Amino acid sequence: MATSAEGFDTVIVVDFGAQYAQLIARRVRECRVFSEIVPSSMPVTDMLAKRPKAIILSGGPSSVYAAGAPLVDPSLFAAGVPTFGICYGHQVMAQALGGEVRKTGLSEYGATQLAVTGNGGTLLAGLPASQQVWMSHGDAVFTAPPGFTATAMTAGSPVAAFEDVARGFAGVQFHPEVLHTDHGLAVLQHFLYDIAGCRPTWTMVNIVEEQVDRIRLQVGDKRAICGLSGGVDSAVAAALVQRAIGDRLTCVFVDHGLLRKGEAEQVERDFVASTGVRLKVVDAAEKFLAALAGVSDPEEKRKIIGREFIRVFEAAAREVVGEIAATGETVDFLVQGTLYPDVVESGGGEGAANIKSHHNVGGLPDDLQFALVEPLRTLFKDEVRRVGEQLGLPAEIVWRQPFPGPGLGIRIVGAVTRDRLEVLREADAIAREELSAAGLDRDIWQCPVVLLADVRSVGVQGDGRTYGHPVVLRPVSSEDAMTADWTRLPYDVLARISTRITNEVPEINRVTLDVTSKPPGTIEWE
């Protein structure tokens, strides 16, 4: 399935290797305009074949005058499509159209004061004469191309913004897509609406209607199966397909015994109640525990969990296929909750999906031939949540924190046992309850609780020494999990979590806080 959206204005984000390319696409969508990321190596004819309403040239790590630096085919600027350059894209545009780009001698990284010159033109119209922007450059545009008007400058960037509204061209040296740029979203809106003439019609209602129509067209009168993990991605994908084809969808939920407290029951109860979907539940906890017995190496645990999941899902899928075959029908489609970042990061975006190994049903055997249905393939995580709300899914499912496929198996540092799982479930449940009670659920990306099962720490409880396990709280804030920072939770919330865990979970006598960002750390410990 292609990643374009029929019936909506589309903005192409040309990726020059920017760390923020996905963020640019997200911000464009926040302006209610559909966006799609393409590599800078894509021929201009292929870009134009997508019939974009506008094109955005992203930042990148290169210097435009360096040998081998990715450049833009000049025919792009002759195509009559409004184009906006950001950082490196700003410099590429300037150089291609006759401006001057060179090293500044004064690199700018991070928060920088921008001075608007004149009336700010169209791009900076109505914005403060002095404002904070986010910079990341050592080169700069020193002379704007013929026909362009320079509209802003900084200490290290003589032409920090320029525009040629008559031709639909504009560029900025700073990054309007990051939150550290005070008026970045307004700058993007000025380009999209006032220069490019994009219509803000990309809404959740339209997304649901469009995807339901696509699913009906793809599946027709056939049947589909979906591996339901309990997470928001598979839940929303299943709900969309169920909306489109009704009881011709069968969901398989594999309970591997590594879920958080109450999650299996919630899937069986709340998801079915809100969607009416046909659900087959497989209780495989004993099988997974047996396979994990005595294994402490995190990579080995991941492999075992992935392998066992495939085996269990395969068996369940065969049962479903067999039951349906008895009626004279076949199951021809497999539903997956693939998101747009998965597509971009795996080099996809067009044609067949590249099923990533972290997806629950990746690696199915060759004799299970299904065509893929991926209704979330064009969406980012925040958009998936809004679609879930539009479909009427419970908030507990829609706003559930991201949870790794291997579950609590990789939040136990050490071997996985039934007792250790129960200890971690209780501690994790307390942390989630207190975060919810404090109204912080949507302020953090997730808060893994890690059990250091192979570590004992001395403590004092009830006037006696204890040798219990420590747990680690890992609250993080992120937009896409590619980078993350630890969340500065209020001290009183941390205190309540610590007090409750050490009081209510006898095996734990110490609660610690992980204050590492990503990078250098990762969100999960294993």
Query: Could you give the residue numbers annotated as active site?
Result: 87, 175, 177
Rounded to 10 degrees, what is the CA torsion of 100, 103, 107, 109? Answer: 60
- The H or E element containing residue 237 is helix 232-245
Please tell me the number of Cα atoms within 13 Å of 12 on its side-chain side: 24
| Among 270, 341, 284, 304, CA closest to 15 | 341
| Extended strands (E) in 144-262 | 149-154, 157-164, 169-172, 223-228, 249-255
| Among 451, 406, 417, 412, CA closest to 431 | 451
| Residue 74 CA from chain centroid, whole number | 33
- The string of DSSP letters for 481-519 reads SSSBEE----HHHHHHHHHHHHHH-TTEEEEEE----BT
- How far is the C-alpha of 136 from the C-alpha of 154, rounded, in Å? 13
Contacts of 517 (CB under 8 A, 6+ apart): 483, 484, 485, 486
Question: Strand 457-461 relative to strand 464-473: parallel, antiparallel, unpaired?
Answer: antiparallel
- How far is the C-alpha of 344 from the C-alpha of 355, rounded, in Å? 12
